[in-house]
């Protein structure tokens, strides 16, 4: 099965060429594409898509921003941003070896492991998030995958948040098919499972789970009728082409993810990436812009790393097509701007928050 995504054409005020990128159906084991057509010629899918995406990414910065903003305006209200709240419902002691994560038991982190939170404690935090203006509540657990003993509690959390009138999201690692359907039946709207980086660079970041494992989880979640939230992390020492390839992988899923979180690495003490060199902010904006152009109807989330971003950098990211953020002063174990600071920024920029049930799409 072949899917063709055409980039929305620029309006009459520009001569910039808008590319057509053809993407292909994936299987649980990864990419199964042989060729596609570019400029009337059949070419290797990967190399041609990379070439075109690299051209978009590296075009003059103002042209890139203009193209991304044009695509954004054709698909969304440019002055609305979706707000989510993320809570760590089980912290530390994770068996995975993700090089960026302070919750990994393999990284020598001093962070102590906690038990899964009680349902009422999670719902109390969800109520605070709703009162603070969040329209989606995301719950994350630090483990490889949930155990059978955890499922009833997780289902109760989803049901409780859903009854508050909020959208529900969870990130729990890999899931069995039965677990996916139980969460769906409980009312889960979104499942987050980031691919982290490109397939090439992936083994430099994590070895305890394969890239294909992640693609398989995303496909099975989508097939069960749960919306997919999938993005990655930049600034982990990867090359520019890795950032481009990561976005091409997401854009080549059976359907584009409903949400695409783009995280700027927050170097955490005692992790292998604690001393990694910071990514240039302009490169980060280019990544946001390419995500918007490749996935026009997805919510692109300006995710972790905002604490170290200036108002000007965040504003540039919104202009490049970001239209979702996490609110609250903590993201799992990392800092995040508090809600008062976000309110001031939104007021400066004339941005309003999307209401529950409103996706901001045209």
**What tens digit of pLDDT does each residue of 159-174 get?**
999 999 999 999 999 9
Of 182, 243, 292, 301, which one is the catalytic site residue? 301
The structure tokens listed for 191 are: 């499942």
Is there a contact between 141 and 173 (Cβ–Cβ < 8 Å)? Answer: yes
Binding residue numbers: 94, 98, 101, 138, 169, 229, 301
Question: Do the domain assignments include residue 6?
Answer: no
Catalytic, 317? Answer no
The structural domain count of the chain equals 1
Alpha-carbon distances of 346 from 68, 136, 227, 316, 331, rounded to whole Å: 20, 18, 27, 13, 20
Angle between helices 45-58 and 61-75 (to 10 degrees): 110
Q: Tell me whether residue 254 is in a domain.
A: yes
Catalytic residue among 136, 209, 220, 229: 229
* CA nearest neighbour of 332 among 150, 84, 82: 84
Q: Residue 15 domain-assigned? A: no
Question: Has 94 been annotated as catalytic?
Answer: yes
Q: Could you tell me the CATH number of the domain that includes residue 218?
A: 3.20.20.70
Q: What CA–CA distance (Å, rounded) separates 298 from 359? A: 10
Rg (CA), the chain: 20
- Structural domain includes residue 360: no
Q: What is the mean pLDDT of each run of 10 residues along the chain (362 residues)?
A: 36 40 37 40 65 94 97 96 91 75 67 82 93 89 87 97 95 94 97 95 92 95 97 96 95 94 89 89 98 96 91 97 82 58 93 84 86
- The DSSP 8-state label assigned to residue 63 in this structure reads H
- The reply to whether 358 belongs to the active site is no
- The answer to whether position 275 is within a domain reads yes
Query: What residues make up the domain containing 96?
Result: 75-353
Residue 2 included in any domain: no
Per the domain annotation, does 336 fall within a domain? yes
Residue 303 domain flag:
yes
Alpha carbon 18 to chain centroid, angstroms? 24
* pTM of the full structure: 0.84
């Amino acid at each position: 099965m072949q899917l063709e995504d055409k980039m929305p054409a620029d309006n009459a005020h520009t001569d910039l060429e808008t590319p057509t990128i053809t993407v292909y159906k994936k299987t649980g084991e990864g990419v199964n594409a042989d060729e596609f057509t570019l400029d009337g010629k059949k070419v290797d899918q990967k190399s041609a898509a990379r070439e075109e995406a690299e051209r978009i990414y590296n075009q003059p910065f103002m042209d890139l921003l203009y193209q991304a903003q044009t695509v954004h305006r054709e698909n969304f209200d440019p002055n609305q941003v979706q707000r989510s709240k993320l809570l760590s419902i089980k912290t530390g002691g994770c068996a995975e070896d993700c090089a960026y994560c302070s919750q990994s038991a393999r990284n020598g982190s001093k962070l102590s492991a906690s038990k899964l939170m009680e349902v009422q404690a999670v719902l109390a935090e969800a109520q605070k998030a709703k009162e603070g203006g969040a329209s989606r509540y995301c719950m994350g657990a630090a483990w490889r995958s949930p155990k059978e003993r955890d499922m009833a509690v997780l289902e109760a959390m989803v049901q409780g948040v859903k009854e508050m009138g909020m959208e529900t999201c969870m990130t729990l690692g890999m899931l069995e098919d039965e677990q996916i359907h139980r969460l769906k039946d409980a009312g889960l709207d979104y499942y987050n499972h980031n691919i982290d980086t490109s397939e090439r660079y992936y083994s430099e970041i994590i070895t305890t789970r394969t890239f294909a494992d992640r693609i398989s989880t995303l496909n099975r979640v989508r097939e069960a009728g749960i919306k997919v939230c999938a993005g990655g992390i930049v600034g982990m020492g990867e090359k520019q082409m890795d950032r481009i390839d990561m976005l091409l992988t997401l854009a080549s899923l059976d359907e584009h993810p409903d949400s695409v979180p783009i995280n700027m690495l927050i170097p955490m003490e005692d992790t292998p990436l604690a001393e990694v060199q910071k990514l240039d902010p302009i490169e980060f904006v280019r990544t946001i812009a390419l995500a918007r152009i490749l996935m026009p109807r997805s919510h692109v989330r300006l995710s972790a790393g905002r604490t170290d971003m200036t108002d000007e950098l965040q504003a540039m990211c919104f202009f490049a097509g970001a239209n979702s953020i996490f609110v609250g002063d903590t993201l799992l174990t990392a800092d995040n701007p508090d809600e008062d600071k976000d309110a001031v920024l939104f007021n400066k920029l004339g941005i309003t928050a999307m209401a529950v049930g409103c996706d901001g799409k045209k």
